[in-house]
Structure 1
Amino acid sequence: MGARPSRRQMTEARRLALTKLPPELLVQVLSHVPPRALVTRCRPVCRAWRDLVDGPSIWLLQLARDRSAEGRALYALAQRCPADGNRHEEFPFCALARFCLRAPFSRNLIHNSCGEQGFRGWEVEHGGNGWAVEKNLTLVPGAPSQTCFVTSFEWCSKRQLVDLVKEGVWQELLDSGQIEICVADWWGARENCGCIYRLRVRLLDEYENEVVKFSASPNPVLQWTERSCRQVSHVFTNFGKGIRYVSFEQYGRDTRSWVGHYGALVTHSSVRVRIRLS
Protein backbone atom coordinates (compact mmCIF):
# COMPACT_ATOMS: atom_id res chain seq x y z
CA MET A 1 0.00 0.00 0.00
CA GLY A 2 1.25 3.46 -0.86
CA ALA A 3 1.73 6.23 1.65
CA ARG A 4 -1.32 8.34 2.33
CA PRO A 5 -0.96 11.80 0.71
CA SER A 6 -0.40 14.65 3.12
CA ARG A 7 -2.85 17.50 3.53
CA ARG A 8 -0.45 19.79 1.70
CA GLN A 9 -0.25 17.38 -1.25
CA MET A 10 -4.04 17.13 -1.38
CA THR A 11 -4.36 20.92 -1.35
CA GLU A 12 -1.81 21.22 -4.15
CA ALA A 13 -3.69 18.58 -6.16
CA ARG A 14 -6.97 20.48 -5.80
CA ARG A 15 -5.25 23.72 -6.78
CA LEU A 16 -3.77 22.10 -9.90
CA ALA A 17 -7.18 20.70 -10.80
CA LEU A 18 -8.76 24.16 -10.56
CA THR A 19 -6.03 25.81 -12.60
CA LYS A 20 -6.78 23.40 -15.45
CA LEU A 21 -10.36 24.64 -15.70
CA PRO A 22 -11.24 26.92 -18.63
CA PRO A 23 -11.30 30.58 -17.50
CA GLU A 24 -15.08 30.87 -17.85
CA LEU A 25 -15.60 27.89 -15.51
CA LEU A 26 -12.95 29.09 -13.07
CA VAL A 27 -14.75 32.43 -12.84
CA GLN A 28 -17.96 30.59 -11.96
CA VAL A 29 -16.22 28.55 -9.26
CA LEU A 30 -14.41 31.51 -7.70
CA SER A 31 -17.58 33.60 -7.68
CA HIS A 32 -18.89 31.34 -4.88
CA VAL A 33 -15.95 32.22 -2.61
CA PRO A 34 -16.65 34.93 0.03
CA PRO A 35 -15.15 38.33 -0.89
CA ARG A 36 -12.56 38.44 1.89
CA ALA A 37 -11.28 34.95 1.07
CA LEU A 38 -11.14 35.81 -2.63
CA VAL A 39 -8.72 38.62 -1.89
CA THR A 40 -6.66 37.07 0.89
CA ARG A 41 -6.59 33.39 -0.15
CA CYS A 42 -7.34 33.10 -3.88
CA ARG A 43 -5.71 36.19 -5.31
CA PRO A 44 -2.13 35.23 -4.24
CA VAL A 45 -2.32 31.74 -5.82
CA CYS A 46 -1.02 32.73 -9.25
CA ARG A 47 -1.06 35.51 -11.80
CA ALA A 48 -4.10 34.12 -13.62
CA TRP A 49 -6.15 34.01 -10.42
CA ARG A 50 -4.95 37.48 -9.46
CA ASP A 51 -6.11 38.87 -12.80
CA LEU A 52 -9.52 37.26 -12.37
CA VAL A 53 -9.97 38.62 -8.83
CA ASP A 54 -8.79 42.06 -9.94
CA GLY A 55 -11.32 42.12 -12.78
CA PRO A 56 -15.10 42.67 -12.67
CA SER A 57 -16.48 39.30 -13.83
CA ILE A 58 -16.36 37.43 -10.51
CA TRP A 59 -17.84 40.35 -8.61
CA LEU A 60 -20.69 40.85 -11.09
CA LEU A 61 -21.64 37.21 -10.59
CA GLN A 62 -21.68 37.75 -6.83
CA LEU A 63 -23.97 40.76 -7.23
CA ALA A 64 -26.26 38.79 -9.55
CA ARG A 65 -27.00 36.25 -6.79
CA ASP A 66 -28.79 38.82 -4.64
CA ARG A 67 -32.39 38.42 -5.83
CA SER A 68 -33.88 41.05 -3.53
CA ALA A 69 -35.40 44.13 -5.15
CA GLU A 70 -32.37 46.20 -4.16
CA GLY A 71 -29.99 43.46 -5.32
CA ARG A 72 -31.58 43.24 -8.75
CA ALA A 73 -31.55 47.03 -9.09
CA LEU A 74 -27.89 47.17 -8.06
CA TYR A 75 -26.91 44.47 -10.56
CA ALA A 76 -28.69 46.35 -13.35
CA LEU A 77 -26.91 49.57 -12.36
CA ALA A 78 -23.54 47.83 -12.17
CA GLN A 79 -23.99 46.71 -15.78
CA ARG A 80 -25.31 50.07 -16.94
CA CYS A 81 -22.79 52.19 -15.00
CA PRO A 82 -19.53 50.21 -14.97
CA ALA A 83 -16.59 51.61 -13.06
CA ASP A 84 -13.94 53.28 -15.21
CA GLY A 85 -11.21 50.92 -13.99
CA ASN A 86 -9.31 53.46 -11.88
CA ARG A 87 -8.02 51.85 -8.72
CA HIS A 88 -7.98 53.53 -5.35
CA GLU A 89 -4.55 53.85 -3.77
CA GLU A 90 -5.54 51.54 -0.89
CA PHE A 91 -7.01 48.83 -3.15
CA PRO A 92 -5.11 47.18 -6.02
CA PHE A 93 -8.28 45.67 -7.51
CA CYS A 94 -11.39 46.93 -9.25
CA ALA A 95 -14.17 49.14 -7.90
CA LEU A 96 -16.66 46.25 -7.88
CA ALA A 97 -14.31 44.30 -5.63
CA ARG A 98 -14.12 47.27 -3.26
CA PHE A 99 -17.90 47.45 -3.22
CA CYS A 100 -18.32 43.76 -2.37
CA LEU A 101 -15.59 43.90 0.27
CA ARG A 102 -16.72 47.09 1.99
CA ALA A 103 -20.49 46.44 1.62
CA PRO A 104 -21.39 50.14 1.88
CA PHE A 105 -25.13 49.57 1.39
CA SER A 106 -25.44 47.38 4.48
CA ARG A 107 -23.80 49.56 7.14
CA ASN A 108 -23.57 52.99 8.70
CA LEU A 109 -20.72 54.93 7.08
CA ILE A 110 -20.23 57.12 10.16
CA HIS A 111 -17.51 55.67 12.35
CA ASN A 112 -17.75 55.84 16.14
CA SER A 113 -21.29 57.20 15.97
CA CYS A 114 -21.98 57.04 19.71
CA GLY A 115 -18.62 57.94 21.22
CA GLU A 116 -17.83 54.36 22.20
CA GLN A 117 -14.27 55.05 20.97
CA GLY A 118 -13.98 58.51 22.46
CA PHE A 119 -13.56 61.11 19.72
CA ARG A 120 -11.84 58.82 17.24
CA GLY A 121 -12.85 59.66 13.67
CA TRP A 122 -14.20 63.12 14.53
CA GLU A 123 -12.74 66.60 14.03
CA VAL A 124 -13.65 68.30 17.29
CA GLU A 125 -13.85 71.95 18.36
CA HIS A 126 -14.34 72.45 22.09
CA GLY A 127 -16.25 75.37 23.58
CA GLY A 128 -16.73 76.05 27.28
CA ASN A 129 -15.60 72.90 29.07
CA GLY A 130 -15.55 71.07 25.75
CA TRP A 131 -17.16 67.87 24.59
CA ALA A 132 -17.51 64.83 26.83
CA VAL A 133 -18.76 61.26 26.39
CA GLU A 134 -21.34 59.91 28.82
CA LYS A 135 -23.91 57.14 29.13
CA ASN A 136 -27.29 57.81 27.56
CA LEU A 137 -29.99 59.18 29.83
CA THR A 138 -32.65 57.35 27.81
CA LEU A 139 -32.53 54.34 25.52
CA VAL A 140 -31.74 55.13 21.88
CA PRO A 141 -33.21 52.39 19.66
CA GLY A 142 -30.80 50.63 17.33
CA ALA A 143 -27.69 52.39 18.63
CA PRO A 144 -24.52 50.25 18.67
CA SER A 145 -23.65 51.72 22.09
CA GLN A 146 -25.80 53.46 24.70
CA THR A 147 -23.36 56.35 25.02
CA CYS A 148 -23.47 59.91 23.70
CA PHE A 149 -21.44 63.05 23.09
CA VAL A 150 -22.31 65.96 25.41
CA THR A 151 -21.73 69.69 24.81
CA SER A 152 -20.97 72.51 27.23
CA PHE A 153 -21.93 76.14 27.98
CA GLU A 154 -20.40 77.55 24.78
CA TRP A 155 -20.82 76.27 21.24
CA CYS A 156 -19.16 72.90 20.69
CA SER A 157 -18.91 71.41 17.22
CA LYS A 158 -17.62 68.25 15.61
CA ARG A 159 -17.40 66.97 12.07
CA GLN A 160 -16.78 63.73 10.24
CA LEU A 161 -15.91 63.58 6.55
CA VAL A 162 -17.14 60.41 4.84
CA ASP A 163 -15.31 59.46 1.64
CA LEU A 164 -17.98 57.55 -0.27
CA VAL A 165 -15.54 56.13 -2.82
CA LYS A 166 -13.15 54.92 -0.14
CA GLU A 167 -16.10 53.32 1.65
CA GLY A 168 -16.81 51.27 -1.48
CA VAL A 169 -19.28 53.20 -3.66
CA TRP A 170 -17.77 53.69 -7.10
CA GLN A 171 -18.07 57.12 -8.71
CA GLU A 172 -20.17 56.05 -11.71
CA LEU A 173 -22.72 54.54 -9.33
CA LEU A 174 -22.88 57.80 -7.37
CA ASP A 175 -23.38 59.69 -10.64
CA SER A 176 -26.14 57.37 -11.89
CA GLY A 177 -29.04 59.37 -10.46
CA GLN A 178 -30.35 56.21 -8.75
CA ILE A 179 -28.56 56.62 -5.42
CA GLU A 180 -29.98 58.09 -2.22
CA ILE A 181 -27.91 59.24 0.74
CA CYS A 182 -29.81 58.99 4.02
CA VAL A 183 -28.56 60.93 7.05
CA ALA A 184 -29.88 60.87 10.61
CA ASP A 185 -28.92 62.03 14.08
CA TRP A 186 -30.32 61.58 17.59
CA TRP A 187 -30.17 64.42 20.09
CA GLY A 188 -31.64 65.41 23.43
CA ALA A 189 -31.19 67.38 26.64
CA ARG A 190 -30.87 66.91 30.35
CA GLU A 191 -34.07 67.43 32.30
CA ASN A 192 -32.60 70.15 34.52
CA CYS A 193 -31.00 72.27 31.77
CA GLY A 194 -32.14 73.39 28.34
CA CYS A 195 -30.02 73.11 25.21
CA ILE A 196 -29.62 74.22 21.61
CA TYR A 197 -28.76 71.79 18.82
CA ARG A 198 -27.83 72.26 15.17
CA LEU A 199 -27.05 69.80 12.38
CA ARG A 200 -25.57 70.50 8.97
CA VAL A 201 -24.83 67.82 6.37
CA ARG A 202 -23.15 68.80 3.11
CA LEU A 203 -22.47 66.78 -0.02
CA LEU A 204 -19.09 67.73 -1.46
CA ASP A 205 -17.27 67.10 -4.73
CA GLU A 206 -13.78 65.63 -5.04
CA TYR A 207 -12.26 69.04 -4.21
CA GLU A 208 -14.51 69.32 -1.12
CA ASN A 209 -16.60 72.08 -2.65
CA GLU A 210 -20.19 72.13 -1.43
CA VAL A 211 -22.77 70.89 -3.93
CA VAL A 212 -25.89 70.59 -1.78
CA LYS A 213 -26.63 70.77 1.94
CA PHE A 214 -29.23 70.01 4.58
CA SER A 215 -29.52 72.02 7.80
CA ALA A 216 -31.65 71.40 10.87
CA SER A 217 -32.21 73.96 13.64
CA PRO A 218 -34.87 72.54 15.97
CA ASN A 219 -36.40 74.74 18.63
CA PRO A 220 -34.28 74.85 21.80
CA VAL A 221 -35.25 72.43 24.54
CA LEU A 222 -36.40 74.32 27.64
CA GLN A 223 -35.29 73.63 31.18
CA TRP A 224 -37.37 71.12 33.17
CA THR A 225 -38.95 69.52 30.13
CA GLU A 226 -38.99 65.87 29.14
CA ARG A 227 -35.54 64.43 28.53
CA SER A 228 -36.51 62.16 25.63
CA CYS A 229 -34.29 61.75 22.57
CA ARG A 230 -35.33 63.20 19.24
CA GLN A 231 -34.27 62.22 15.74
CA VAL A 232 -33.43 64.45 12.80
CA SER A 233 -33.25 62.81 9.38
CA HIS A 234 -33.03 63.69 5.71
CA VAL A 235 -32.70 61.87 2.38
CA PHE A 236 -30.56 63.38 -0.38
CA THR A 237 -31.84 62.40 -3.82
CA ASN A 238 -31.34 63.71 -7.35
CA PHE A 239 -28.17 65.44 -6.20
CA GLY A 240 -26.46 65.36 -9.59
CA LYS A 241 -23.00 64.18 -10.57
CA GLY A 242 -19.64 64.62 -8.93
CA ILE A 243 -20.46 63.88 -5.27
CA ARG A 244 -17.53 62.28 -3.44
CA TYR A 245 -17.80 63.23 0.25
CA VAL A 246 -20.42 63.69 2.97
CA SER A 247 -19.54 66.27 5.62
CA PHE A 248 -21.53 65.52 8.79
CA GLU A 249 -21.42 68.47 11.21
CA GLN A 250 -23.00 68.84 14.67
CA TYR A 251 -23.25 71.86 16.97
CA GLY A 252 -24.59 72.23 20.49
CA ARG A 253 -24.56 74.13 23.78
CA ASP A 254 -26.68 74.61 26.89
CA THR A 255 -29.07 77.51 27.52
CA ARG A 256 -28.04 78.29 31.12
CA SER A 257 -24.27 78.84 30.73
CA TRP A 258 -23.55 76.32 33.45
CA VAL A 259 -19.99 75.13 33.97
CA GLY A 260 -19.68 71.48 33.02
CA HIS A 261 -21.51 69.43 30.42
CA TYR A 262 -25.18 70.36 30.42
CA GLY A 263 -25.66 71.09 26.71
CA ALA A 264 -27.09 69.11 23.82
CA LEU A 265 -26.48 65.36 23.79
CA VAL A 266 -25.90 63.77 20.38
CA THR A 267 -25.55 60.11 19.43
CA HIS A 268 -26.21 57.40 16.84
CA SER A 269 -25.32 59.62 13.88
CA SER A 270 -25.63 57.85 10.56
CA VAL A 271 -24.91 58.15 6.85
CA ARG A 272 -26.35 55.35 4.73
CA VAL A 273 -26.36 54.84 0.98
CA ARG A 274 -29.08 52.95 -0.86
CA ILE A 275 -30.57 52.35 -4.30
CA ARG A 276 -33.65 54.38 -5.20
CA LEU A 277 -36.14 51.72 -6.23
CA SER A 278 -39.03 53.89 -7.45
Structure 2
Amino acid sequence: MGASASRGRPARVPAPEPEPEEALDLSQLPPELLLVVLSHVPPRTLLGCCRRVCRGWRALVDCQALWLLILARDHGVLLPLARSCLPPARDGRPSLLGRFCERRPIGRNLIRNPCGQEGLRKWMVQHGGDGWVVEGNRSTVPGAPSQTCFVSSFSWCRKKQVLDLEEEGLWPELLDSGKIEICVSDWWGARHDSGCMYRLLVQLLDANQTVLDKFSAMPVPIQQWNNNVCFQVTHVFSNIKMGVRFVSFEHWGQDTQFWAGHYGARVTNSSVVVRARLS
Protein backbone atom coordinates (compact mmCIF):
# COMPACT_ATOMS: atom_id res chain seq x y z
CA MET A 1 0.00 0.00 0.00
CA GLY A 2 2.85 2.38 0.76
CA ALA A 3 4.32 1.81 -2.70
CA SER A 4 1.10 2.67 -4.55
CA ALA A 5 0.57 5.86 -2.48
CA SER A 6 4.04 7.19 -3.21
CA ARG A 7 3.60 6.32 -6.89
CA GLY A 8 0.66 8.75 -7.10
CA ARG A 9 2.57 11.88 -5.96
CA PRO A 10 4.48 14.00 -8.47
CA ALA A 11 8.22 14.17 -7.89
CA ARG A 12 9.42 17.53 -6.49
CA VAL A 13 11.99 19.16 -8.75
CA PRO A 14 14.43 21.41 -6.83
CA ALA A 15 14.32 25.05 -7.91
CA PRO A 16 17.42 26.15 -9.78
CA GLU A 17 19.75 28.31 -7.72
CA PRO A 18 19.96 31.91 -8.94
CA GLU A 19 23.09 32.72 -10.83
CA PRO A 20 25.37 35.07 -8.88
CA GLU A 21 25.25 38.62 -10.13
CA GLU A 22 28.41 39.82 -11.72
CA ALA A 23 30.16 42.33 -9.45
CA LEU A 24 30.53 45.83 -10.81
CA ASP A 25 34.17 46.47 -11.59
CA LEU A 26 34.66 50.15 -10.81
CA SER A 27 38.21 50.00 -12.10
CA GLN A 28 36.77 49.85 -15.62
CA LEU A 29 35.27 53.33 -15.24
CA PRO A 30 37.09 56.29 -16.77
CA PRO A 31 39.09 58.13 -14.07
CA GLU A 32 36.89 61.22 -14.36
CA LEU A 33 33.73 59.18 -13.65
CA LEU A 34 35.38 57.13 -10.90
CA LEU A 35 36.38 60.40 -9.25
CA VAL A 36 32.72 61.46 -9.10
CA VAL A 37 31.69 58.08 -7.66
CA LEU A 38 34.39 58.21 -4.98
CA SER A 39 33.36 61.73 -4.02
CA HIS A 40 30.19 60.24 -2.49
CA VAL A 41 32.16 57.90 -0.20
CA PRO A 42 32.70 59.13 3.40
CA PRO A 43 36.17 60.72 3.83
CA ARG A 44 37.19 58.26 6.55
CA THR A 45 36.44 55.32 4.25
CA LEU A 46 38.31 56.95 1.38
CA LEU A 47 41.42 57.43 3.49
CA GLY A 48 41.23 54.19 5.46
CA CYS A 49 40.03 51.71 2.82
CA CYS A 50 39.74 53.03 -0.75
CA ARG A 51 43.28 54.36 -0.75
CA ARG A 52 44.55 50.79 -0.23
CA VAL A 53 42.69 49.17 -3.14
CA CYS A 54 45.32 49.75 -5.81
CA ARG A 55 47.79 52.34 -7.06
CA GLY A 56 45.20 53.94 -9.30
CA TRP A 57 42.74 54.46 -6.47
CA ARG A 58 45.49 55.69 -4.20
CA ALA A 59 46.44 58.32 -6.76
CA LEU A 60 42.81 59.45 -7.03
CA VAL A 61 42.35 59.67 -3.25
CA ASP A 62 45.58 61.64 -2.92
CA CYS A 63 44.75 64.11 -5.67
CA GLN A 64 43.28 67.51 -4.86
CA ALA A 65 40.50 67.20 -7.45
CA LEU A 66 38.57 64.58 -5.43
CA TRP A 67 38.59 66.63 -2.24
CA LEU A 68 37.69 69.85 -4.01
CA LEU A 69 34.63 68.04 -5.37
CA ILE A 70 33.69 66.98 -1.83
CA LEU A 71 34.29 70.47 -0.45
CA ALA A 72 32.20 72.07 -3.19
CA ARG A 73 29.25 69.78 -2.46
CA ASP A 74 29.39 69.41 1.34
CA HIS A 75 31.25 72.48 2.60
CA GLY A 76 30.79 75.04 -0.15
CA VAL A 77 31.47 78.04 2.08
CA LEU A 78 35.00 76.70 2.77
CA LEU A 79 35.86 76.02 -0.88
CA PRO A 80 37.22 79.54 -1.63
CA LEU A 81 39.36 79.38 1.52
CA ALA A 82 40.83 75.99 0.60
CA ARG A 83 41.43 76.97 -3.04
CA SER A 84 43.25 80.15 -2.06
CA CYS A 85 46.00 78.38 -0.12
CA LEU A 86 46.36 74.93 -1.63
CA PRO A 87 49.75 73.24 -1.29
CA PRO A 88 51.64 72.72 -4.57
CA ALA A 89 49.95 70.11 -6.78
CA ARG A 90 53.07 67.93 -6.75
CA ASP A 91 53.44 68.18 -2.98
CA GLY A 92 54.66 64.89 -1.50
CA ARG A 93 52.33 65.04 1.51
CA PRO A 94 49.36 62.74 0.80
CA SER A 95 45.74 63.69 1.33
CA LEU A 96 46.16 67.02 3.11
CA LEU A 97 42.74 68.06 1.89
CA GLY A 98 41.48 64.59 2.77
CA ARG A 99 42.46 65.02 6.39
CA PHE A 100 40.82 68.46 6.33
CA CYS A 101 37.53 66.97 5.05
CA GLU A 102 37.67 64.04 7.46
CA ARG A 103 38.48 65.97 10.64
CA ARG A 104 36.59 69.18 9.86
CA PRO A 105 38.80 71.45 11.96
CA ILE A 106 37.05 74.69 11.01
CA GLY A 107 34.30 75.70 13.41
CA ARG A 108 34.53 72.85 15.93
CA ASN A 109 35.98 72.80 19.43
CA LEU A 110 39.48 71.32 19.33
CA ILE A 111 39.65 70.92 23.13
CA ARG A 112 39.02 67.33 24.19
CA ASN A 113 36.86 66.58 27.24
CA PRO A 114 36.04 70.26 27.91
CA CYS A 115 33.59 69.66 30.76
CA GLY A 116 35.03 66.63 32.52
CA GLN A 117 32.60 64.11 31.02
CA GLU A 118 35.56 61.71 30.86
CA GLY A 119 37.13 62.63 34.17
CA LEU A 120 40.60 64.12 33.66
CA ARG A 121 41.32 62.30 30.38
CA LYS A 122 43.15 64.32 27.69
CA TRP A 123 44.37 66.89 30.23
CA MET A 124 47.87 67.31 31.67
CA VAL A 125 47.16 68.10 35.31
CA GLN A 126 49.00 69.49 38.30
CA HIS A 127 47.15 68.82 41.54
CA GLY A 128 47.37 71.40 44.31
CA GLY A 129 45.76 70.91 47.71
CA ASP A 130 43.37 67.98 47.37
CA GLY A 131 43.58 68.12 43.57
CA TRP A 132 41.03 68.37 40.78
CA VAL A 133 37.66 66.60 40.86
CA VAL A 134 34.63 66.64 38.55
CA GLU A 135 31.23 67.75 39.87
CA GLY A 136 27.90 68.88 38.48
CA ASN A 137 27.48 72.57 37.64
CA ARG A 138 25.82 74.78 40.25
CA SER A 139 24.78 77.25 37.54
CA THR A 140 23.78 76.36 33.98
CA VAL A 141 26.51 77.04 31.41
CA PRO A 142 24.85 77.78 28.04
CA GLY A 143 25.96 75.65 25.11
CA ALA A 144 28.08 73.26 27.18
CA PRO A 145 28.09 69.63 25.97
CA SER A 146 27.72 68.54 29.61
CA GLN A 147 26.61 70.38 32.74
CA THR A 148 29.68 69.22 34.67
CA CYS A 149 32.87 71.03 35.64
CA PHE A 150 36.38 70.63 37.02
CA VAL A 151 36.67 71.83 40.63
CA SER A 152 39.98 73.00 42.15
CA SER A 153 41.17 72.95 45.74
CA PHE A 154 42.86 75.12 48.39
CA SER A 155 46.16 75.45 46.49
CA TRP A 156 46.67 76.27 42.81
CA CYS A 157 45.48 73.42 40.57
CA ARG A 158 46.50 73.49 36.89
CA LYS A 159 45.22 71.82 33.71
CA LYS A 160 46.67 71.99 30.21
CA GLN A 161 46.17 70.75 26.65
CA VAL A 162 48.50 71.34 23.69
CA LEU A 163 46.72 71.13 20.33
CA ASP A 164 48.60 70.09 17.19
CA LEU A 165 46.86 72.09 14.47
CA GLU A 166 48.25 70.00 11.61
CA GLU A 167 47.14 66.81 13.32
CA GLU A 168 43.67 68.33 13.65
CA GLY A 169 43.43 68.66 9.85
CA LEU A 170 44.91 72.07 9.00
CA TRP A 171 48.01 72.47 6.83
CA PRO A 172 50.88 74.99 6.89
CA GLU A 173 49.81 77.03 3.86
CA LEU A 174 46.36 77.48 5.39
CA LEU A 175 47.72 78.32 8.84
CA ASP A 176 50.05 80.93 7.33
CA SER A 177 47.47 82.39 4.93
CA GLY A 178 46.15 85.12 7.24
CA LYS A 179 42.64 83.89 6.45
CA ILE A 180 41.86 82.13 9.71
CA GLU A 181 41.43 83.22 13.31
CA ILE A 182 41.60 81.29 16.57
CA CYS A 183 38.80 81.89 19.07
CA VAL A 184 39.31 80.97 22.72
CA SER A 185 36.68 80.68 25.43
CA ASP A 186 36.58 79.41 29.02
CA TRP A 187 33.96 79.43 31.78
CA TRP A 188 34.81 79.75 35.45
CA GLY A 189 32.87 80.33 38.64
CA ALA A 190 32.53 79.63 42.34
CA ARG A 191 30.31 77.84 44.79
CA HIS A 192 28.19 80.18 46.88
CA ASP A 193 29.98 79.65 50.20
CA SER A 194 33.60 80.03 49.04
CA GLY A 195 35.57 82.64 47.15
CA CYS A 196 38.02 81.58 44.46
CA MET A 197 40.77 82.69 42.08
CA TYR A 198 41.28 81.77 38.43
CA ARG A 199 43.87 82.29 35.72
CA LEU A 200 43.96 81.49 31.98
CA LEU A 201 46.95 81.38 29.62
CA VAL A 202 46.69 80.56 25.91
CA GLN A 203 49.83 80.53 23.74
CA LEU A 204 50.33 80.12 20.00
CA LEU A 205 53.48 78.08 19.35
CA ASP A 206 55.62 77.33 16.30
CA ALA A 207 56.89 73.88 15.28
CA ASN A 208 59.64 74.11 17.93
CA GLN A 209 57.14 75.13 20.64
CA THR A 210 58.46 78.71 20.67
CA VAL A 211 55.81 81.21 21.78
CA LEU A 212 54.66 83.47 18.91
CA ASP A 213 51.65 85.06 20.60
CA LYS A 214 49.75 84.71 23.86
CA PHE A 215 46.71 85.80 25.81
CA SER A 216 46.43 85.73 29.59
CA ALA A 217 43.64 86.62 32.00
CA MET A 218 43.55 86.76 35.78
CA PRO A 219 40.19 88.26 36.72
CA VAL A 220 39.40 89.76 40.10
CA PRO A 221 38.77 86.90 42.58
CA ILE A 222 35.17 85.99 43.33
CA GLN A 223 34.20 86.70 46.92
CA GLN A 224 32.52 84.33 49.37
CA TRP A 225 28.68 84.29 49.44
CA ASN A 226 28.34 84.90 45.72
CA ASN A 227 25.17 83.09 44.57
CA ASN A 228 27.12 80.50 42.51
CA VAL A 229 28.20 83.08 39.92
CA CYS A 230 30.04 82.08 36.76
CA PHE A 231 31.79 84.09 34.05
CA GLN A 232 33.04 83.57 30.51
CA VAL A 233 36.51 84.64 29.36
CA THR A 234 36.98 85.04 25.58
CA HIS A 235 39.71 86.12 23.19
CA VAL A 236 40.22 86.06 19.42
CA PHE A 237 43.66 85.76 17.81
CA SER A 238 42.80 87.53 14.57
CA ASN A 239 46.24 88.43 13.20
CA ILE A 240 47.99 85.08 13.39
CA LYS A 241 51.72 85.19 12.80
CA MET A 242 53.47 82.97 10.27
CA GLY A 243 54.59 79.65 11.67
CA VAL A 244 51.86 78.89 14.23
CA ARG A 245 51.48 75.11 14.51
CA PHE A 246 50.31 74.48 18.09
CA VAL A 247 47.94 76.03 20.63
CA SER A 248 48.74 75.65 24.33
CA PHE A 249 45.68 76.11 26.56
CA GLU A 250 46.10 76.08 30.35
CA HIS A 251 44.18 77.38 33.32
CA TRP A 252 44.49 77.41 37.10
CA GLY A 253 42.06 77.60 40.00
CA GLN A 254 42.01 77.63 43.80
CA ASP A 255 39.78 78.77 46.65
CA THR A 256 40.35 81.80 48.88
CA GLN A 257 39.17 80.18 52.12
CA PHE A 258 41.96 77.56 52.10
CA TRP A 259 39.50 74.87 53.12
CA ALA A 260 40.36 71.19 52.74
CA GLY A 261 38.38 69.57 49.95
CA HIS A 262 37.16 71.13 46.72
CA TYR A 263 35.91 74.68 47.17
CA GLY A 264 38.04 76.41 44.52
CA ALA A 265 37.37 77.79 41.05
CA ARG A 266 35.09 75.66 38.91
CA VAL A 267 36.11 75.60 35.22
CA THR A 268 34.20 74.13 32.28
CA ASN A 269 33.29 74.34 28.59
CA SER A 270 36.81 75.32 27.55
CA SER A 271 37.11 75.81 23.80
CA VAL A 272 39.61 76.57 21.05
CA VAL A 273 37.87 77.06 17.69
CA VAL A 274 39.52 77.86 14.35
CA ARG A 275 37.30 80.00 12.14
CA ALA A 276 37.62 81.17 8.55
CA ARG A 277 37.96 84.88 7.89
CA LEU A 278 35.70 84.98 4.85
CA SER A 279 35.45 88.76 4.52
TM-score, normalised on structure 1? 0.89
Matches within 5 A, 1:70-109: 71-72=76-77, 74-83=78-87, 85-87=91-93, 93-109=94-110
Matches within 5 A, 1:175-186: 175-186=176-187
Secondary structure, aligned partner of 1:215: strand
Deviation at 1:228, TM superposition (A): 2.5
What is the root-mean-square deviation in Å for CA atoms of aligned residues? 1.7
Deviation at 1:76, TM superposition (A): 1.9
Contact 2:199–2:216 under 8 Å retained in 1: yes
Secondary structure, aligned partner of 1:57: helix
The CA distance in 2 between the partners of 1:153 and 1:228, in whole Å, is: 19
Aligned to 1:200: 201
Q: Flag the structure with larger Rg.
A: 2
Aligned to 1:34: 42
Q: Which runs of 4+ in 1 moved over 6 A?
A: none
| Residues 1:5 and 1:270: Cα distance change in structure 2 (over 3 Å) | farther
Aligned to 1:4: 18
Amino acid at match of 1:78: A
Aligned to 1:90: none
Aligned to 2:266: 265
User: How many residue pairs were aligned?
Assistant: 263
Amino acid at match of 2:36: Q
| Residues 1:122 and 1:60: Cα distance change in structure 2 (over 3 Å) | same
| Residues 1:19 and 1:272: Cα distance change in structure 2 (over 3 Å) | same
The CA distance in 2 between the partners of 1:86 and 1:131, in whole Å, is: 45
Are 1:21 and 2:29 an aligned pair? Answer: yes
Contact 1:86–1:94 under 8 Å retained in 2: no
The answer for unaligned runs of 5 or more in structure 1 is 88-92
Secondary structure, aligned partner of 1:270: strand
Matches within 5 A, 1:72-221: 72=77, 74-83=78-87, 85-87=91-93, 93-221=94-222
Deviations 1:119-173 (A, max 9, x none): 1111111111111111111221221121111111111111100111101111111
The CA distance in 2 between the partners of 1:176 and 1:4, in whole Å, is: 59
Amino acid at match of 1:117: E
The CA distance in 1 between the partners of 2:214 and 2:142, in whole Å, is: 26
The CA distance in 1 between the partners of 2:214 and 2:273, in whole Å, is: 16
Deviation at 1:66, TM superposition (A): 4.0
The CA distance in 2 between the partners of 1:45 and 1:2, in whole Å, is: 35
Residue range with higher mean Cα deviation, 228-237 or 198-207? 228-237
Secondary structure, aligned partner of 2:173: helix
Deviation at 1:116, TM superposition (A): 1.2
| Residues 1:252 and 1:86: Cα distance change in structure 2 (over 3 Å) | farther
The CA distance in 2 between the partners of 1:218 and 1:212, in whole Å, is: 20
Contact 2:206–2:246 under 8 Å retained in 1: yes
Deviations 1:56-85 (A, max 9, x none): 221111111246xxx33x312322211353
Deviations 1:160-198 (A, max 9, x none): 001111011111111100001111011100100000111
The CA distance in 2 between the partners of 1:26 and 1:219, in whole Å, is: 61
The CA distance in 2 between the partners of 1:120 and 1:3, in whole Å, is: 55
The CA distance in 1 between the partners of 2:19 and 2:144, in whole Å, is: 52
